Structure 1
Amino acid sequence: MQTNWTKLRLLALAGSISWMGSTLTTFAVVLQYKDAYGPNGVSAIMLSMILPTILAAPYAGVLADRVRAAILLPTLLSIMGLSTFMLSFDLGFIWSLVFLAITATCGTPVGASFNATLANYATPDDLPRVMGLLQTGSSVGAMLGPGLAGYLVTVTGSFAWSFRIDAASFFVLAFAVMALRIDRKPQPQIEGEKIRAMDGVKLVMKNDLVRALVILITMVIVAVSVINIGEVFLVMDELGADAITYGIVAATFAFGSVVGAVSTSVFKVPERYHAPISVAALVALSLITLTLAFAWHWIVVAIAWFIAGFFNAGLNAYGISLIINRTPEEIRGRVMAAVRAMFSTASVVGMGIAGLLIAGFGIRNVLGAAGIACIAIIVVLAPAVLRASRRLVD
């Protein structure tokens, strides 16, 4: 099998449009409710987009492994488009949380199916480059989204257009899946075999390298999730930026992700370096979290955010590829759903704590503590990842 670069490039283009739409919604809904509901309200918004991915993960993995991607993906993407469109009617905070949760619930099997399907269109050696290519598309979309959201809100005085554009982007991606004939057929089921939702978790815990890497990333996510809640308060309240400036600052993360993703898609790196690169990326993200605590201008945040995006792209490309390449085809959907659920659980815990801590101690103090916690976690857990990686090479 050869890597189908033409199909993957077109899929990346469609994905960039969808990611731009999703970023529009994320930033628009935060801007819409941050003043009225404060840090806890922003936490509730983020949790409404994350909790469903945890609760639905076991069943999402089963769907990804037992339903053809050509059927599953367009159907769920269409539902996501409809639920996002409902946000434009401004039915209130609670209904916004409901529609965000519906979108996130459908997005869980979509994400698992997409990740599991990639291996059907790329060789194992090319998979990190493919991940980089797809992330380039999504990062470009995410880079355009925040600035556009801030612009639309400022110029129109309404949040509705951000939600309408996002809704349309889901239908664009659904059409691309059908037009490109993206598909992954379920593996034949052995007679008497039971399809267990938790098989993905068991595989993650069984493989030494996958287990060590997932645990390390999960623990770091708990600490750095404070940024998701505190960024808007740091940039706008502490540093005095307006909505457009906030959108531009947030977009620098996506710009850094574009540069990092392009790098991973262009340069072919031997597999023995994938785990060390992942650890180095986590170290960089930890130091950036600590740096944000001392930011004196929004430009400092923008620069730090660009660097964070660059290293995050490397972590996604090499870390996730390691996991995909070590997963049997027949349970790949369940494994990727399990991994996503673990990461989402970490975000929920981190953001839940962050909202309370920021309200009590201030954003700068919490960012500083989170950065120190990240560094301590890496010192303790990173050696296990590197040891497992060396055993794999040997």
Structure 2
Amino acid sequence: MSVMFRALGNRNYRMWAGGALVSNIGTWMQRVAQDWLVLTVLTDHSGTAVGITTGLQFLPMLLLGPYAGVLADRYRKLVILKWTQTAMGLCGLLVGLLVLTGSAQLWQVYVAALCLGVASAIDGPARQAFVSELVGQDNVSNAVALNSASFNTARLTGPAIAGVLIAWVGTGPVFLLNAASFAAVIISLWRIRQSGLFPTVPARNGKHPVAEGLAYVSRRRDLVLILVMVGILGAFGMNFAITNALMATAEFGMGPGEFGLLGSIMAVGTLAGALLAARRSGPRLRFVLGGALGLGFFTLVGSVSPSFWLYAAVLIPVGLASMTFLNSCNTSIQLSVEPQFRGRVLALYLAVLQGGTALGAPLMGWIGTEFGARWSVAAGGSIVLLTGLCSVIVVSRSSSLTFRDQLRTVVVRKRSRNGPTQDTEAAGQARGV
């Protein structure tokens, strides 16, 4: 099997990946339907309302994420995922029924978004950490990249399908289709063979497990840098649902089909970024920094694009840069964090990423509503670019390595004869950042 798809040689991973692909397509369809429902049916093109909906969906990760990480470190991740995936499917089913019966109101969509966010907050750390149990440490980097490829394949097709269906039958059936798509991932979870898993030793029952996780991160300057960058980029540079909706409708006067098309065009870039990551042996610091700089630069270019199609074209490098950044951050954590802390650190990563989006989404939506869609896009791009430049300066000044050596640093882990994983010299060097 090609090196790019080596993780698919594992039966359990194939089961998981197949179900996740179907579910991800449904999820992206619902995201488009939800934004369109709020933007054009329940409000009069209110970017603020879309921002609040997005914020409510991601806010629980900021509040509950660290505790969800404790659950992922202490309990069986497979069991957690079965419950959370079921709960998320029920959220889509409820909104779909409300829309079809003509009784949907804005506050109900807010409540559903919040409930979906709670389920997602518990699901996220367990799902991220479950990857290493599916394929083992040697194939984690490839599996993370393939997960991203699956996610972005869905991102490529889901919005386009949603745009057509919304124009054809409305938003309600799209929510119902998403609810049905969760059956695929739930069935795949039940078909996973536990004998083929690579389970980690559960974390001990300490008195302050969240504080232990935070203390671990605070001792790792490389993790602190990653989390700071992820938080800022998540808040100001990755509110694509809001900015694309405002640009498509308010700036270019397009309909649901074109709005869905923007998500699919952007997915071309994110899918390319994921596949390129699948070929790499491990994360390098230059991909973290380069991804941030590229995201800021091309977002600024998009803010001044004179036409819909030029704006859509710019979304391809925007997607490539964002996926390069996120994949490198995620893989760095998966490979360099001790197994007993992995769930908590991944939970903190998701809390910072999605929590940043929850805090930034209403602000970006307000800027777009009050000052225009282009100002919202430009503000996000400027902040992201400045963050990337500041991170380059911090890295270049805070390590004994030369800057060129730092950019080439690869985070890897190897298994000792006695079983526990140990950091190699390269990972140790990366911690000096």
TM-score (norm 2): 0.83
Say yes or no: does 1:181 pair with 2:193: yes
Structure 2 vs 1, CA of residues 164 and 184 (structure 1 numbering), >3 Å: closer, same or farther? Answer: farther
Q: Distance in 2 between matches of 1:61 and 1:270?
A: 24
Give 1:137's aligned residue.
150
Letter in 2 for 1:58: P
Residue matched to 1:45 = 53
Counterpart mapping for 1:1-394 below 5 A = 5-35=10-40, 36-37=43-44, 38-88=46-96, 89-90=98-99, 91-122=104-135, 124=137, 126-156=139-169, 158-181=170-193, 187-188=201-202, 190=204, 193-194=206-207, 196-225=209-238, 227-265=240-278, 267-269=279-281, 271=283, 274-385=284-395, 389=406, 392=429
Deviation at 1:129, TM superposition (A): 1.8
Helix, strand or coil at the partner of 1:56:
helix
Provide the TM-score with structure 1 as the length reference.
0.91
CA contact (8 A) 2:273 2:323 kept: yes
| Amino acid paired to 2:356 | A
The question of whether the paired residues in 2 share the 8 Å contact of 1:17 and 1:138 is answered with no
CA–CA distance in structure 1, aligned partners of residues 281 and 52 of structure 2: 40
Decide whether the 8 Å contact of 1:147 with 1:244 is kept in 2.
Answer: yes
Q: CA deviation at 1:172?
A: 1.4
- On the 8 A contact 2:155/2:264 being kept in 1, the answer is yes
Change (3 A) 1:159 1:114: same
Residue 194 of structure 1 aligns to a residue in which SS?
coil
Gapped regions of structure 1 (runs ≥ 5): none
1:227–1:289 contact (8 Å) kept in structure 2: no
Q: Return the alpha-carbon distance in structure 2 between the equivalents of residues 228 and 170 of structure 1.
A: 22
- Give the Cα separation in 2 of the matches to 1:171 and 1:227: 27
Contact 2:293–2:389 (Cα < 8 Å) also in 1: no
Shift of 1:246: 1.3
2-structure distance, mates of 1:326, 1:185: 17
Tell whether the 8 Å contact from 1:16 to 1:142 is kept in structure 2 after alignment.
Answer: no
> Is the partner of 1:372 in helix, strand or coil?
helix
- Residues 95 and 381 (structure 1 numbering): CA distance in 2 closer, same or farther, change over 3 Å? same
CA contact (8 A) 2:73 2:202 kept: no
**2:315 and 2:17 mapped to 1: Cα distance?**
23
Measured against aligned partners, the alpha-carbon deviations of 1:82-115 in whole angstroms (never above 9, x if no partner) come to 1210011223211122122212211122110121
CA RMSD of aligned residues (A): 2.3
In structure 1, C-alpha distance between the alignment counterparts of 2:282 and 2:336, rounded to whole Å:
16
**What is the SS of the residue equivalent to 2:184?**
helix
Q: 1:188 to 1:368 in 2, by over 3 A?
A: closer
Instruction: Please report how far the alpha carbon of residue 268 of structure 1 lies from its aligned counterpart in structure 2 after TM superposition.
Output: 2.7
Report what 2:3 is aligned to. none
Measured against aligned partners, the alpha-carbon deviations of 1:158-187 in whole angstroms (never above 9, x if no partner) come to 211111111112221111112123667563
Q: Counterpart of 1:252 in structure 2: which amino acid?
A: I
Number of equivalences: 388
Contact 1:57 1:109 in 2 (8 A): yes
Indicate the percent of aligned positions where both proteins have the same amino acid. Answer: 18
Q: Distance in 2 between matches of 1:11 and 1:308?
A: 28
- Structure 1 residues 6-50: Cα deviation after superposition (integer angstroms, max 9, x where no partner): 432332222111111111111101111213150111111101211
C-alpha contact 1:228 1:351 (8 A) present in aligned 2? no
Q: Which secondary structure does the structure 2 equivalent of 1:119 belong to?
A: helix
Deviation at 1:270, TM superposition (A): 5.2
